[in-house]
Chain A
Amino acid sequence: MLWDIIIEATNSSFKTVTQIAIIVFPIMMVLRIARETQVLTKVSNYFEPLTKRIYLSKEATFPLIVGIVFGLTYGAGVLVQAAKEGHLTTRDMLLINVFLGLNHAVFEDTFIFGAIGANSWVLFMTRTLLAVAVTYIVGRWLVSREKGHTSLSESS
């Protein structure tokens, strides 16, 4: 029995690691080129009209796009940097974290799950749409609360 387990586990390990490696190498290459060419600073301009609609400021777009493409750790680094420079509001910080919590490192994750048998397209769309919807709802709630507070303080 022990021998069976060893053979079975070795086979499946080898199969799965190869399957994923085939996907991971090209993705890492593309992501590295994207990072070196700093193409995202340009790309993020195009997304400003969209991020505005989910209650994010113009300055919040770049850290958001970086997190979506490169992942949470790298995205958080850019986020903390932008916050230090003082461009981001408290609302931006919370909303970026809501969005990125749900949706980060999308290319890597989507393709890896595609490699092990998921429908990547359904997975990617569901995750992205949910992140947009939830960020919109939370953003709207925050804005209405901010308005509520100012009108209260004005009346008093």
Chain B
Amino acid sequence: MDLRRVIKLGIKDGVETTWELAKVIVPVFFVITFFKHTPVIGWMVTMFEPITLLLGLPGEATMPIVIANALTVYPAIPAITSFSFTTKEITIIGTMILLCHSLPVETMIARKSGANGLFILIVRVLAAILAGIILNLFMGG
């Protein structure tokens, strides 16, 4: 193994990943900060809180979960850090998001690698809801 080459590649991976993150995180921060100065977040909370409360989450959790599923995990990050969620809430949101995200793209990948895309999608959504319920019941904090 050529150590210098590997270190160079590792740094390159780091720069690329951070850049990919920054590219989506920064614009999303601007959009969310803008909405926080409007009544839109309040409407969202009233509308979805009855559902999110079942998972032990405030209505604001709707935003990262929807963003992660429709887009990817990275833009959901500013939607988490923009609000003051507790450790338990971030853990629940994070677990749900990581089980079930980027549905348009990843369902396509599943289909291409020889599985029934719809089946994988249903399994993921159910697993995420189940994880939310379990963590809400059993996680302290």
Q: Given B21, B33, B90, B91, which contacts A20 in the complex, CB threshold below 8 Å?
A: B21
Contact between A126 and B13 (Cβ–Cβ < 8 Å)? Answer: no
Q: Given B9, B77, B127, which contacts A102 in the complex, CB threshold below 8 Å?
A: B127
Instruction: Tell me the bound Cα distance from A1 to B34 in angstroms.
Output: 9
Q: Which residue of A lies closest to B22 (CB)?
A: A17
The yes or no answer to B51 lying at the interface (CB within 8 A) is no
Q: Which residues of B have CB within 8 Å of A24? A: 14, 17-18, 21
The yes or no answer to A28 lying at the interface (CB within 8 A) is yes
The yes or no answer to B123 lying at the interface (CB within 8 A) is yes
Q: Which residues of A have CB within 8 Å of B11? A: 25, 28-29
Contact between A17 and B113 (Cβ–Cβ < 8 Å)? Answer: no
Count A/B pairs, Cβ under 8 Å. 171
Contact between B29 and A13 (Cβ–Cβ < 8 Å)? Answer: yes
Tell me the minimal C-beta distance from B77 to chain A in angstroms: 6
Instruction: Tell me the bound Cα distance from A63 to B85 in angstroms.
Output: 36
Q: Which of B39-47, B53-61, B104-112 contacts A (4 or more CB under 8 A)?
A: B104-112
Instruction: Tell me the bound Cα distance from A154 to B124 in angstroms.
Output: 36
Q: Which residues of A have CB within 8 Å of B130? A: 130
Instruction: Tell me the bound Cα distance from A119 to B21 in angstroms.
Output: 21
Q: Given A13, A29, A83, A112, which contacts B26 in the complex, CB threshold below 8 Å?
A: A13
A30-49: CB near B (< 8 Å → 1, else 0) gives 11110011000000000000
Q: Which residues of A have CB within 8 Å of B1? A: 33, 36-37
Using a CB-CB cutoff of 8 Å, which residues 1-48 of chain B contact chain A?
A: 1, 6-7, 9-11, 13-14, 17-18, 21-22, 25-26, 29-30, 32-34, 37
The yes or no answer to B99 lying at the interface (CB within 8 A) is yes
Tell me the minimal C-beta distance from B72 to chain A in angstroms: 11
- Per CB-CB distance, the 6 closest pairs between chain A and chain B, nearest first, are A97-B115, A29-B10, A28-B13, A93-B114, A25-B14, A32-B10
> A5-B34, A32-B13, A98-B120 given. 6 additional CB < 8 A pairs?
A13-B25, A31-B10, A33-B6, A96-B115, A97-B114, A127-B98
Q: Supply 20 A–B pairs (Cβ within 8 Å), ascending by A.
A: A5-B34, A8-B33, A17-B22, A28-B10, A29-B10, A31-B10, A72-B109, A76-B109, A83-B113, A93-B114, A97-B120, A102-B99, A102-B123, A118-B90, A119-B88, A122-B91, A122-B135, A123-B95, A126-B135, A131-B127
